[in-house]
Structure 1
Amino acid sequence: MDKLKITGGQPLSGTIPISGAKNSALKLMAAALLTPEPVTLKNTPNLADTRFLSQLLDTLGVEVYWPKGESTCHLNAAELKSTIAPYEQVRKMRASFNVLGPLLARYGHATVSLPGGCAIGARPVDLHLKAFEAMGADLLVEEGYVKAAAIHGLKGAQIVFPMVSVGATEHAMLAATLADGETVLENAAREPEIADLADCLNAMGAKVSGAGTSTITIQGVKQLHGTTHDVMADRIEAGTYAMAVAAAGGDVTLTNAPVAAMSSINHALRNAGVQVDADVEKGTIRIQRNGGKLNPVNIDTAPHPGFPTDLQAQFMALMSLANGTSVIRENIFENRFMHAPELSRLGANITVRAHEAIVTGVDALRGAPVMATDLRASVSLVIAALAAQGETDVSRIYHLDRGFERLEEKLTNVGANVRRVSEEEE
């Protein structure tokens, strides 16, 4: 098993290109199931998660052409050989569950395992299933599988989500594109990735309006056709690297950044005393911190356009070096403070109480062996290690490989001392 060895204390300088968004690419790949024609996705990030999904699509019978190291993924679901998504594959990643809606919409039936994924508390799929039932699907959950049928096709419906859910919004959108009639999603999530999915679906011939607002309307069509689509840039990756520069110090420009989608992130960094120069037209964000203490900043995670839960761990690492006390409230997921004890091993002063963490800044962090517990927690440890004195070993980095493309390469190119080693090399 690999781990990262990081020697901290080096300011970062240079340019980091931002990859395609994992959270968008996964749903776009699932959308290819809706049409028998080829779908080409450019700027697809090479990640464990996207490769997992490509393997599942291959199992279903999708022709997948995605050469190793390339960012263009070609998908052709002309003739599927199965509508069953097995546990062995779906358990690896929650987003695999999103093949259910497209299979149900196009073929009228599907059997999909209940998902696995990160250990960050309960993340039920009830809202997904209720949306399909509203569209006329018959559902049976048994032995860990969802068996769904809509023999006469899905029907348009008025769906009011009792809480904002990105996954349920996207999944309902996918299914509704081929439903008979109009589907209206109320209290829909407004994340930029949802607008990216709508853009791709509309390019395939769907009729989706309102994506990016709390009311999304989908007028069902008989069939969709193929398209070529550029996956949007990853705002979580961009925010992560911005916080890494803010923690370690230096001057780094992020290129191909989704600037317009990062207002809450850039606002929090500026409040912390970090210089942030963002250019929407060029797609660049320049991050500078050269000396000077960080200001403490309180944040509450919230659905977009609020501060994203997927950057909460990274911001906690940054605030562990602030000149004062910050309060970080996690309002999206339970059990998402598992990184706090590991940050404390590096010298951070963090007290967790239910859904809030009190972070009292320290003068310096110090290297130590730490262990990743989930995708975003793992990269918070990398941020802390880059700012720490001495060497840090980060183990269980397979979590990192799920969501950050060429992490060591991108950090090394801006002056970080980061290397991947296997335990056999020790």
Structure 2
Amino acid sequence: MAKFLVNGGRALEGEISVSGSKNASLPALAASLLFSDAPPLFQNLPEIEDIKRMKELLQSQKDGRFDYEVAKKIRASILAVGPALARFGRSSFPHPGGCVIGARPIDVFFDGWKAMGAIVEKTPPSGKKPGFLAVSKPGFEELGGVHSIPIYEIRAPQGLRGCDFTFRVPSVTGTEGLMMTAVLAQGRTILRNVAEEPEILSLADWLNKNGAKIGGAGTHTITIEGRGGKLLSGQVPFLAPPDRIEAGSLAILGAIAAKKMTIKNFPENELTALLGVLKTARAEFEITHHDHSLFPSITLKRATKLRAVNVQTKEYPGFATDLQAPYTVLATQAEGVSMIHETIFEGRLNYVEDLNKIGARINLCDPHRAIVHGPSNLTGWNLEGPDIRAGLAFLIAALVARGESQIGNIYQIDRGHEKIDARLRALGADIKRMEA
């Protein structure tokens, strides 16, 4: 398995551009199933593992059914199910894979599809225990000596019809999945208490340009006028916006490790919560707007004395849960005591013990809260990235730490960040990719 070898402590200097958004590109690719046989064009997609897996998933699709071995590798496989159901009247897939960061139930999809008239049931794969697929992945129910995950079959024998559906709690992928499903349904669908993330608005705007009728994206209520099975045109290509999570993570890195680092294509308006926290923490940065670009740039320098700030993750436009782990690394370099309160996922602080191994002083109060004492002198160590965001946080910590670090399981980092090692080397980082 590949790993990064990092010699930390170097001041970073230069320019780096934000890649296309992973979380905007994945649902857009899934939505290609809503289009006629001439597929839409996609521009500025990030060259990352999750995008490769989604393309493989869509290529494996036959009459709404997906290859189980491909689908189980990527959490975002659930996004393709709604469009497949809407187009073919059926779909089957295994329980999605992805990051191990706590419970991420998919029942919201089932509830929404049922409200549209679909039937959802588990179905036995050939030669396996009914309703389950055997895999060699820990953390799932163990049956007959092997780990297993459920297989689901969804059918709409009478077609899909519009509905009035309220989410118990806002869900980004749930909102995207049901919104895409409703595009080809018969009649009007109203989705209430939906997520407001900008990736949802990006998806809706693009679908509307190709014939969909979606209103209210970016608010708590979305209305979709279904097309009764009529496919979209695909005349307007999808242009992936800058990845706000990568942009925020790079800004955090610059605040603690840069001599002078400029981040181009910085989605300022989508990162107001982070920028507010950085300002309160006395990070040194300046935002510059350009006539020739839709997005400004931000220039950061390592702050002389960062101040501890309490952070609580929230749904957009609050502080993003995906930035929580990188910010915790910044908190280790700040003067004072910071409270990190993770309100979205109960397993997303599972990396803090590893940060303590390299010199951080973090007390894990419970699955949702951690106390960070700073500043701390971090020292190189061997770490394994458990998921995309914690993996990048470990890389940020290694760049700040003195001495040599090895970051293992970098497949997780590659899932969400395009050629991050080469891009950081261009800033002066001492980082090497070591293949197994």
Residue type matched to 2:84 in 1? L
Instruction: Give distance in 2, aligned partners of 1:183 and 1:198.
Output: 14
Instruction: Give distance in 1, aligned partners of 2:283 and 2:350.
Output: 26
The corresponding residue for 1:410 is: 423
The corresponding residue for 2:95 is: 114
Instruction: Give distance in 1, aligned partners of 2:256 and 2:173.
Output: 31
The corresponding residue for 2:385 is: 372
Alignment of structure 1 residues 138-149 onto 2, 5 Å? 138-142=119-123, 143=131, 144-149=150-155
The corresponding residue for 2:54 is: 53
SS of residue matched to 1:325: strand
The corresponding residue for 1:8 is: 8
C-alpha displacement at 1:287, in angstroms? 3.3
Q: Does 1:310 align with 2:322?
A: yes
Contact kept? 1:247, 1:383, Cα under 8 Å: no
Alignment of structure 1 residues 3-402 onto 2, 5 Å? 3-36=3-36, 37-60=38-61, 81-142=62-123, 143=131, 144-221=150-227, 222-226=230-234, 227-279=236-288, 282=293, 283-354=295-366, 355-402=368-415
Contact kept? 2:361, 2:376, Cα under 8 Å: no
Instruction: Give distance in 2, aligned partners of 1:5 and 1:49.
Output: 23
User: After the TM superposition, which of the residue ranges 293-302 and 268-277 deviates more from structure 2?
Assistant: 268-277
Going from structure 1 to structure 2, the CA distance change for 1:198 and 1:99 (only over 3 Å counts) comes to same
C-alpha displacement at 1:278, in angstroms? 2.6
Q: Deviations over 1:374-412 (max 9, x none)?
A: 110001011111111111111111111100001011111
The corresponding residue for 1:75 is: none
Instruction: Give distance in 2, aligned partners of 1:250 and 1:286.
Output: 14
Instruction: Give distance in 2, aligned partners of 1:169 and 1:290.
Output: 38
Instruction: Give distance in 2, aligned partners of 1:53 and 1:365.
Output: 37
Instruction: Give distance in 1, aligned partners of 2:67 and 2:14.
Output: 44
Contact kept? 2:254, 2:302, Cα under 8 Å: no
Contact kept? 1:274, 1:287, Cα under 8 Å: no
Gaps in structure 1 of 5+ consecutive residues: 61-80
Give the alignment's TM-score, normalised by structure 1: 0.92
SS of residue matched to 1:288: strand
Residue type matched to 1:119 in 2? V
Q: Deviations over 1:304-332 (max 9, x none)?
A: 00000011000001101110110001111
C-alpha displacement at 1:288, in angstroms? 2.1
C-alpha displacement at 1:422, in angstroms? 2.5
C-alpha displacement at 1:345, in angstroms? 1.2
Residue type matched to 2:49 in 1? A
Instruction: Give distance in 2, aligned partners of 1:15 and 1:141.
Output: 50
Contact kept? 2:117, 2:158, Cα under 8 Å: no
Instruction: Give distance in 1, aligned partners of 2:44 and 2:424.
Output: 20
User: After the TM superposition, which of the residue ranges 280-289 and 46-55 deviates more from structure 2?
Assistant: 280-289
SS of residue matched to 1:268: helix
Instruction: Give distance in 2, aligned partners of 1:280 and 1:151.
Output: 53
Gaps in structure 2 of 5+ consecutive residues: 124-130, 132-149
Number of equivalent positions: 403
Residue type matched to 2:19 in 1? S
Q: Deviations over 1:93-140 (max 9, x none)?
A: 110111110011111111122211111111010011101111111111
Residue type matched to 2:238 in 1? H
C-alpha displacement at 1:421, in angstroms? 1.2
C-alpha displacement at 1:279, in angstroms? 4.1
Contact kept? 2:169, 2:193, Cα under 8 Å: yes
Instruction: Give distance in 1, aligned partners of 2:303 and 2:157.
Output: 65
The corresponding residue for 1:76 is: none
Residue type matched to 1:17 in 2? S
Residue type matched to 1:87 in 2? Y
SS of residue matched to 2:41: strand
Contact kept? 2:283, 2:303, Cα under 8 Å: no
C-alpha displacement at 1:151, in angstroms? 2.2
C-alpha displacement at 1:338, in angstroms? 1.7
C-alpha displacement at 1:362, in angstroms? 2.8
SS of residue matched to 1:99: helix
Residue type matched to 1:184 in 2? I
Residue type matched to 1:44 in 2? L
Instruction: Give distance in 1, aligned partners of 2:110 and 2:240.
Output: 27
Residue type matched to 2:354 in 1? E
C-alpha displacement at 1:291, in angstroms? 4.8
Contact kept? 2:261, 2:301, Cα under 8 Å: no
Contact kept? 2:381, 2:405, Cα under 8 Å: yes
Instruction: Give distance in 2, aligned partners of 1:27 and 1:103.
Output: 13
User: After the TM superposition, which of the residue ranges 279-288 and 205-214 deviates more from structure 2?
Assistant: 279-288
C-alpha displacement at 1:280, in angstroms? 5.6
What value does the CA root-mean-square deviation take over the aligned residues? 1.3
Q: Percent identity?
A: 39
Instruction: Give distance in 2, aligned partners of 1:284 and 1:340.
Output: 33
Instruction: Give distance in 1, aligned partners of 2:205 and 2:237.
Output: 11
C-alpha displacement at 1:220, in angstroms? 0.8
C-alpha displacement at 1:289, in angstroms? 2.6
Residue type matched to 2:155 in 1? A
